[in-house]
Structure 1
């Protein structure tokens, strides 16, 4: 059975994007960018919701061809393009960059993917992750908490019907006061 992880940069008050989708507070240091890039390299399959997919697919497929690109960005772009992805959307018509489109209910498909043999999966996008959270499908949560209060926006966690007990399995600090915490779901 595959492990499913939900990980994002998050503000101290719990948001992955500020009001209006503002991400200006979450620009990673070189060290944190490399950590996220290594995470992409270790992920066998990434599950995307539409909004995050549109943001990522509008930049990373050609990011390595832009002027002034860093070696780390070249590496991340390659890793992102090569990583198998599933996009869950009923409004996107076509996909590219090693991506499969799933237009049906996400929860049964994620359940099926988790039951397969294979390596780790990441889930990306607040709405998609919320559905998986409510269904009890997420095995691990990775939060990189920035020392900023944004006051609103897109929350990392959704409202749940039941408690989810977690075990802390890792902490790490990054430059500028960012704190990584990794939790496994207690089953």
Structure 2
């Protein structure tokens, strides 16, 4: 049995997935994202998302979290920091931060990754998920939809040409007005 590949991302009402386009994080959304991380034991990112996450959530060499982090952000970081990370990149020569580098055919590499033992793979980012969705490798999609119209920025799954059918398996609303919509891929 393969481990599930779960794609989760914040998105605005007009489909923007730029990391700064939605509502600012609050304790409810940070707790949600921390629990999402706990559902998997591996994180899968492309280079851009890996570098963004590493710059924000990696424990500093001093061992002390920065002063700008509140308790919810520290809790998120303490889950993410030790997790195994897999980075799909054709431009990086090496990675660290508990990471391994995927090179070559990313679709075949992720098929192989899914065959490894584990609780699941958490996928993030903008471009890598498009390739994996087009190949039918994503098992679950979680969108936190923010009540914001961004008006610009990268769009959710932009580049998918074939229709994908998804089944809604969970929906809930945050106090902020953002909603979590979780879908399973339908074969």
Please report the TM-score for the alignment, with normalisation by the length of structure 2.
Answer: 0.91
How many residues in Structure 1 have an aligned counterpart in Structure 2? 183
The alpha-carbon deviation at position 68 of structure 1 amounts to 4.6
| Counterpart in the other structure of 1:50 | 47
1:37 partnered with 2:34: yes
User: 2: CA distance between counterparts of 1:161 and 1:154?
Assistant: 16
Once residues 14 and 24 of structure 1 are traced to their aligned partners in structure 2, the CA distance between those partners, rounded to angstroms, is 10
Which structure has greater helix proportion? Answer: 1
CA deviation map 1:10-29 (0-9, x unaligned):
00011101xxxx61534222
**Secondary structure at the counterpart of residue 175 of structure 1:** coil
Residue matched to 1:11: 12
Q: How does 1:12-161 map to 2 (within 5 A)?
A: 12-17=13-18, 23-62=20-59, 65-161=65-161
Alignment partners' CA distance in 2, 1:44 and 1:142: 17
| Superposition RMSD in Å | 1.6
Contact 2:10–2:143 (8 Å) recurs in 1: yes
Deviation at 1:103, TM superposition (A): 2.3
Contact in 1 for aligned 2:5/2:138 (Cα 8 Å): yes
Q: Give, in whole Å, the separation in 1 of the partners of 2:9 and 2:21.
A: 14
C-alpha deviations, 1:25-44, integer Å up to 9, x for none?
34222111111011112211
What's the CA shift string for 1:35-71, capped at 9, x where partnerless? 1011112211111011111111112113652125322
The answer to whether the Cα contact below 8 Å between 2:12 and 2:21 also exists between their aligned partners in 1 is: no
Q: Partner of 2:73: helix, strand, or coil?
A: helix
Instruction: Provide the C-alpha distance between the structure 1 equivalents of 2:48 and 2:77, rounded to a whole number of angstroms.
Output: 19
Residue ranges of structure 1 left out of the alignment (5+ in a row): none
Aligned to 1:186: 186
The ranges of structure 1 where at least 4 consecutive aligned residues each deviate by more than 3 angstroms after the TM superposition are none
- Structure 1 residue 5: Cα displacement: 1.0
Aligned pair in 2 of structure 1 residues 94, 32: CA closer, same or farther (>3 Å)? same
Structure 2: gaps of 5 or more residues: none
Distance 2:161 2:22 in 1: 31
